[in-house]
Amino acid sequence: MKSFISTLTLLVIATQLSFASVDFETYFENKTLRIDYLLGGNAKEQTVFLQNLKKEAHWGGTTKNLVDTFDYGNFRFKLIDKASGNLIYSRGFGSLFQEWQSTPEAKTLSRSYYQVNVMPFPKQKAQFVIDYRNRDGVFVQLFEYEIDPSNYFILEETAMKVKYSKIMGKGEVNKSIDVAFIAEGYTQEEMGKFRADVERVAGYVLNVEPFKTYANRFNIYALESVSEESGPDIPGKAIYKNTVLNSTFYTFDSERYLTTSDIKTMHDIAANVPYDHIFVLINTEKYGGAGIYNYYTSCSSDHKLSREVASHEFGHGFVGLADEYYTSGVSVEDFYNLKVEPWEPNITTLVNFESKWKSMIEEGLVTPTPRTEEYNDKVGLFEGGGYMSKGIYSPVRDCKMKSNNKDEFCPVCQKACERMLKFIIGE
C-alpha cells in the first residue's frame, strides 16, 4: 500500500511538471522563427494573409517560460508540436489593425496591416495557430499553418544590416529583458544624439518601480537605422518626412498618436540583436507615443513629458496594461464590451473582479471608491478607466496609466509589471 501511494504521488508530480514546463532543448534551436503576414479586414471580420517565414540568428526570449500564462492580448499565437500534440510555445499580442477595427472608418472600409510574430525555432514539424479574441472575450481560431523546419523556403538572409551598440546591461540574453531601441527620424549626422537619447529615455523607464528594482536585468541596445530626413510625419500640419519607419502623428486622426505601421522594416532592423521588446524612439520635440502589447512601444525623444510618456507606453507595450483614463479623447469607439471582463490586469467591468485586484482592497473600504483626496493612496474600485467614465473601474485615484501627473505605477500595475518581468527573465 505504501509503495502504491508513493508511485501515485510521483505520477501526480510528474504530470504537473510536464504541464508546467516545456523543455527548450527538446523542441527548439536557440534561433528565431519569424512569421510575417498581413492582418486584413474591417469592423466585422479579420483574415490572415501569410507573407513568409524567416530563420533569424538570435533568440532573445526566455528558454524557460515558453507557454504563456497571462492570457493577455486581443490575439495570440501558438506553436503545437506535430508529433506529440504538445503546446510548446504561445504568446498573446496586440496590433494596430485591431485598434483600427474600432474606428468609424472600419465600418465602411477594409484595410490590412503588416504583422510579425517571433518565437524560438522548432526542431521538428509544428502547427502554427493564430487566434483572435471575439467580442465575448473568447479566443477563436483565425489561421493555422504547418511549419516544416527543413523547408528551404524559410528565408535565412540578414534582411538589413544596421550598426548598433549596447547602451547598458551585462546579463545573459535568455535571462534578461533585452530591449531593442530603434532610431526613427534620425539622420546619419544625428546618431550621436540618438545614442544619448536612448540612454536618457531608457533611464526614464528604468527609474520607475518595479523596473528600477530589475534595472540590472535589462540589456539596452541602440540600433542606428538611418533616415534620409529628420523627424516623423505630421499630416495635420502637412509635414511629410522620408524616414526609415515612416512614423506619423495623427494615427487614426488622433494628433498625439505617434506610430509606425512598417512592422516589416521594424523587425528587419531589430533582428540585428536578440530582443524581447522593441522600442521605437522617434526624433521629435512634439508630444506623442504609442504602446501596444507585445507589438512595440514608441515615444517622442524630446518633449518635456517624454519622461512620463516613455514609461506609460512601456506599460502598454511590454506589460499589457490598459489606459486608466477616461476623459481625454481617443479615436476608437466601444473599445471594451462591458459584459466581458477585459484582459488587461488594471481595469475591470466587475464581471470577474476576483481575477483582478479585489484581494488587494483593504477590508471595509467603500466601493465604488469616491475619487476624492481622502482616498489618494488607497487601492480601491474607482469608476472610470479604459476610455469610459461609466461601467469600467480602475484601481486608484491616479496612476501612471491614468495621467502624466503621477510619477509612479499604482500597486496593481506594479504587481502586473513584476509578474511580466519575472516571466521574461525566466523566474
Question: Judged by CB under 5 A, which of 413, 421, 424, 425 binds Zn ion?
Answer: 413
What distances in angstroms separate CA 405 from CA 11, 161, 284, 401, 420, one per listed residue? Answer: 54, 40, 22, 10, 25
Q: Which is nearer to Zn ion, 81 or 344 (CB)?
A: 344
Q: For every residue of 188-220, which 3-state class applies, written as one string?
A: HHHHHHHHHHHHHHHHHHCCCCCCCCCHHHEEE
CB 230 within 8 A of CB 282: no
Given the rule CB under 5 A, which of 86-94, 201-209, 404-412, 416-424 is the region that contacts Zn ion?
404-412
The candidate with the shortest Cα–Cα distance to 218, out of 179, 187, 166, 163, is: 179
What distances in angstroms separate CA 229 from CA 213, 239, 251, one per listed residue? Answer: 38, 12, 20
The candidate with the shortest Cα–Cα distance to 336, out of 394, 387, 301, is: 387
Closest distance of CB 346 from Zn ion, Å = 5
* Dist CA 76 CA 232 (whole Å): 30
Q: Which is nearer to Zn ion, 401 or 420 (CB)?
A: 401
Given the rule CB under 5 A, which of 94-102, 156-164, 266-274, 340-348 is the region that contacts Zn ion?
340-348
Closest distance of CB 409 from Zn ion, Å = 5
Q: Which is nearer to Zn ion, 111 or 419 (CB)?
A: 419
Q: Which is nearer to Zn ion, 310 or 413 (CB)?
A: 413
Interacting residues with Zn ion between 381 and 400 (CB under 5 A): 399
Q: Per CB under 5 A, does 401 bind Zn ion?
A: yes
Q: Which is nearer to Zn ion, 181 or 382 (CB)?
A: 382
Three-class DSSP category at 80: strand
Cα within 13 Å of Cα(180), Cβ side: 29
Closest distance of CB 324 from Zn ion, Å = 5
Question: Judged by CB under 5 A, which of 74, 251, 346, 349 binds Zn ion?
Answer: 346
Q: Which is nearer to Zn ion, 194 or 325 (CB)?
A: 325
CB 257 within 8 A of CB 290: yes
Q: Which is nearer to Zn ion, 33 or 396 (CB)?
A: 396
Closest distance of CB 427 from Zn ion, Å = 23
Q: Per CB under 5 A, does 410 bind Zn ion?
A: yes
Closest distance of CB 276 from Zn ion, Å = 22
**Binding region for Zn ion (CB under 5 A):** 346, 399, 401, 410, 413
